[in-house]
Amino acid sequence: KAGVTQTPRYLIKTRGQQVTLSCSPISGHRSVSWYQQTPGQGLQFLFEYFSETQRNKGNFPGRFSGRQFSNSRSEMNVSTLELGDSALYLCASSLVPGQSYEQYFGPGTRLTVT
Amino acid sequence: AQRVTQPEKLLSVFKGAPVELKCNYSYSGSPELFWYVQYSRQRLQLLLRHISRESIKGFTADLNKGETSFHLKKPFAQEEDSAMYYCALRGGTSYGKLTFGQGTILTVHP
């Protein structure tokens, strides 16, 4: 079974631009969570989607948004990029959200904002 | 609010020595605790979770609600255990939200 895939793997953007990252969960998984990983803040939860609905949102500004499609694929968007948005963005999928269901992580998208 | 603290950023031991990676948490309800591991150039993966009470790769972790701790232990460290280890917490109604600690880099010397 193929793992979680994320595209693109690397991205370089300029301040003020916007970016869209994509995540394809493991086949059959319906829950997708997004995390931001930085050396200073570590791994921080962005949001979680299940059945095309956002179930949870982390403490990030409104510039960060996401969505989930009917095939469970998810995208996250960051508008008006800032230097501090440079990070590794990880996506994780699970069968359904909640206890007993392991989250499987993708390789991440490395975003660099210049 | 929920918080996970891993007090050691770096931990070095020699092969065959016992290792303990500390994790303390703050959560008002009944949390679910996990340990995730990230080996060099690999993706983050689940090592173990407290509800399973299992031993993976020789590692064990016991949830101590009194001390709000979930320390990861292995009696005899191996070089292949060198990695970044994250402790994570999921609250009762947090669904797919995990709160991670800052991580501990474990280095096992030959």
* Span A8-21, pLDDT tens digits: 999 999 999 999 99
Write down the pLDDT at residue A16: 97
Q: Give the DSSP H or E segment for B87.
A: strand B83-90
Contact present, A46 and A61 (Cβ < 8 Å)? no
Distance CA(A108)–CA(A70), nearest Å, equals 22
Computed over every residue of chain A, the mean pLDDT equals 93
Contact present, A103 and A43 (Cβ < 8 Å)? no
Contact A99 B101 (CB under 8 A): no
Candidates B56, B97, B99, B102, partner chain A, best to mutate (most A CBs within 10 A)? B97
CA of B74: how far to CAs of A72, A78, B11, B20, in Å?
38, 41, 13, 7
How many A/B residue pairs have CB atoms within 8 Å? 60
Write down the pLDDT at residue A101: 75
Residues B64-105 have pLDDT tens digits of 989 999 999 999 999 999 999 999 998 866 677 899 999 999
Candidates A32, A89, A95, A103, partner chain B, best to mutate (most B CBs within 10 A)? A103
Mean pLDDT of A88-100: 82
Contact present, B48 and B35 (Cβ < 8 Å)? yes
Mean pLDDT of A70-81: 97
Q: With a cut of 70, say whether residue B5 has pLDDT above it.
A: yes
Write down the pLDDT at residue A98: 60
Q: Which residues of B touch A74 (CB under 8 A)?
A: none
Distance CA(A87)–CA(A110), nearest Å, equals 6
Lowest-confidence range among A47-56, A75-84, B31-40, B50-59? B50-59
State the CB neighbour count (10 A cutoff) for residue B23. 27
Residues B15-40 have pLDDT tens digits of 999 999 999 999 988 888 999 999 99
Distance CA(B108)–CA(B21), nearest Å, equals 13
HSE at residue B62, side-chain half, CA atoms within 13 A, is 4
Question: A97 — contact with chain B (CB < 8 Å)?
Answer: yes
Mean pLDDT of A31-54: 93
